[in-house]
Amino acid sequence: MKYYDVIILGAGAAGLSAAAAISPEKKVAIIDMGNTPARKIAISGGGRCNFTNDAVSYERYFGNNPKFVRGIIANIASKDILDWAKSKCIKWSEKTPGQYFCETSAKSIITPLIQDAKNADFFLNETVIKTEKTDGLFIIHTNKNTYSSKSMIVATGGISFPATGVSDVGYKIAKQFGHKIIPVRPALCAIATKTIPSELSGISINVEIKNGKSIIQDSLLFTHFGLGGPAIYRTTVRDLNDDIHINLLPNINVYDWLRNEKQTSGKKSIFSLLATKLPNRLAKWLAPFENKNLADYKDTELKTLSEKINNFIIHKNEFSLYNLQSAEVVRGGVSTDEISPKTMESKLCPGLFFAGEVVDIAGDLGGFNLHWAFASGRTAGMYA
Ligand SMILES: Cc1cc2nc3c(=O)[nH]c(=O)nc-3n(C[C@H](O)[C@H](O)[C@H](O)COP(=O)(O)OP(=O)(O)OC[C@H]3O[C@@H](n4cnc5c(N)ncnc54)[C@H](O)[C@@H]3O)c2cc1C
């Protein structure tokens, strides 16, 4: 059996950050079932990895208790990550102000992350099967070896996007040590719905989406199975207990606009008017009677049409989340109730730490998830 002071399960953003933060006198191992570390970082941000965001604050995190992140992100801000990136000569660009992407490729961040973790022995292509704690030591069984350690950091990530190699072992380990698991579901993902016809596929427009208390303004993409794009991704990471209300022309009161046009330009068709503000295919779907003049519409009909544009509703039972295979993250995971928000250590089992997406914390689109993985990983490493 191989002995270590700290063993980290998972060599993703959280596990590598944890390894880098552990004091160099300690003997550290990091075990991952993949053949290379950080495979999710490699595909993040379309291969350019959106690694942090100046807008990091607990309001951009979701879970049963988003305020849990406050202490961790207060200690590790976007500036700290940028300072680190600068020290490693990583070049970045801002897609929108304060949203940081690697300038060329995610590789430019992965290489220094692995270098920083060089104090650790890496065991790749090894799958953690189960763990136990006996006589104050964690015993970790993989498909190849058995290890023991004083502290164990579970950084095995979420279970979305299985093409990168994922497992639910982190949830199983947490449960075994008495932790609650919040049911997991896809988040930062598209939705499937029959309310939208597939012939609109490929159209992208800026919209406003309301769901419960959340209001998102961002771009929406019509797909062959429903809706995607940033506006929908960001909606799905939030609590989803209500119907989805989409304003397809958020800056225009369509009813007032059409009634005014009816008075001044009654001979125009609704289609031709809508097509001045919306893509043709979408305008045609909203106003299929291309040749009917505006003057031929009753105000009540205009009201119904306007509602469809300013408040298009997809009812709760008319959509489903599409799907774990393509979701960027999961909602749910190891409950924050039994984890210290200061150290990321289990309140139930001394020496057991959690970091990254395995915890019931999911961030908004825009670099918030990697920020959380780096910050929680670093914290767990510092205290492990
Ligand atoms: C397509 C896509 C794009 C994304 N883009 C962004 C973005 O631009 N910005 C952003 O902030 N976030 C983005 N994310 C989310 C972000 O990548 C993740 O939240 C983050 O990488 C999670 O880090 P982690 O270390 O917690 O988990 P992971 O990176 O998933 O690492 C967990 C590691 O544990 C290992 N593991 C799991 N089970 C076992 C086992 N049984 N034995 C051994 N090893 C195991 C896995 O192999 C993996 O290497 C994206 C995600 C996806 C899927």
pLDDT in tens, 158-168: 999 999 999 99
Q: Mark whether 194 and 177 lie in a shared domain.
A: no
pLDDT in the model for residue 288 = 81
The reply to whether ligand 1 has any atom less than 6 angstroms from the CB of 173 is: no
> Is residue 328 within 6 Å of ligand 1 at its C-beta?
yes
Mean pLDDT, range 176-205, rounded to an integer: 97
Per-residue pLDDT, 291 = 73
Q: Residue 249 is part of a domain; what is its CATH number?
A: 1.10.8.260
Q: Which residue has the tokens 């995610």?
A: 106
What range does the domain containing 194 cover? 190-322
The CA 268 to ligand 1 mean position distance, Å, reads 53
Same-domain check for residues 294 and 213: yes
Task: Out of 303, 322, 341, pick the residue that ends a domain.
Answer: 322
C-beta 11 within 6 A of ligand 1: yes
* Residue 116, token pair as written in the block: 């920083």
Domain CATH code at residue 140: 3.50.50.60
Residue 132 host element (H or E):
strand 128-134
Mean pLDDT of the chain: 96
pLDDT of residue 339: 98
Q: Which helix (H) or strand (E) holds 320?
A: strand 319-322
For residue 49, give the nearest of 108, 115, 116 by alpha carbon.
108
Lowest mean pLDDT among 287-296, 324-333, 344-353, 354-363: 287-296
- Among candidate residues 272, 304, 322, the one where a domain is terminated: 322
State the amino acid at position 225 in one-letter form: F
Ligand 1: does its nearest atom lie under 6 Å from the Cβ of 186?
A: no
Pocket mutation for ligand 1, best pick of 17, 156, 329 (most atoms within 8 Å of C-beta) = 156
Domain match, 34 and 103 both: yes
The number of the ligand 1 atom at minimal distance from the alpha carbon of 158 is 30
CA angle 170, 47, 236 (to 5 degrees): 55
When mean pLDDT is compared across 7-16, 195-204, 241-250, 280-289, the lowest value belongs to 280-289
126/163 same-domain check: yes
- Closest ligand 1 atom, CA of 377? 25
Per-residue model confidence (pLDDT) at position 235: 98
Task: Please give the pLDDT value at position 307.
Answer: 96
**Residues 83-91: contacts with CB within 8 Å, 24+ apart?**
85/51, 85/109, 88/112
Which atom, in ligand 1's list, is nearest to the CA of 363? 11
Residues 154 and 285 in one domain: no
Question: Residue 327 carries which side chain, given as an amino acid letter?
Answer: A
Contact in structure between 37 and 109 (CB atoms under 8 Å): no
In 88-163, which residue ranges form alpha helices assigned H by DSSP? 107-116
Same domain, 290 and 364: no
Same domain, 166 and 43: yes
Q: Which of 322, 344, 369 is the last residue of a domain?
A: 322
pLDDT tens-digit series, residues 51-110: 999 999 999 999 999 999 999 999 999 999 999 999 999 999 999 999 999 999 999 999
Dihedral angle sign, alpha carbons of residues 265, 270, 273, 277: positive
Pairwise CA distance, residues 182 & 23, whole Å = 32
What CA–CA distance (Å, rounded) separates 181 from 381? 23
Locate tokens 């290489």: which residue?
111
Centroid of ligand 1 to alpha carbon of 23 (angstroms) = 24
Question: Is 198's pLDDT higher than 80?
Answer: yes
Q: How large a percentage of the chain has pLDDT more than 90?
A: 97
Q: Looking at residue 233, what is its pLDDT?
A: 98
The gap between the terminal CA atoms of the chain, to the nearest Å, is 21
* Whether 154 and 225 share a structural domain: no
Where residue 185 falls (left for φ over 0; alpha for ψ -120 to 50; beta otherwise) is beta
Burial 109-129 (b: 16+ CB within 10 A, else e): bbebbbebbeebebbeebebe
232 and 254 in a common domain: yes
How many domains, in total, are found in the chain? 2
HSE-CB of 107 using CA atoms within 13 angstroms: 2
Q: Are residues 179 and 123 located together in one domain of the fold?
A: yes
236 lies in the same domain as 318: yes
Residues 21 and 138 occupy one common structural domain = yes
- What is the model's pLDDT at position 290? 66
Scanning 27-69, the segments in alpha helix (DSSP H) are 39-43
pLDDT in tens, 240-299: 989 999 999 999 999 999 999 999 999 999 999 999 999 999 999 998 876 788 999 999
HSE-up (13 A, CA, CB side) for residue 71: 11
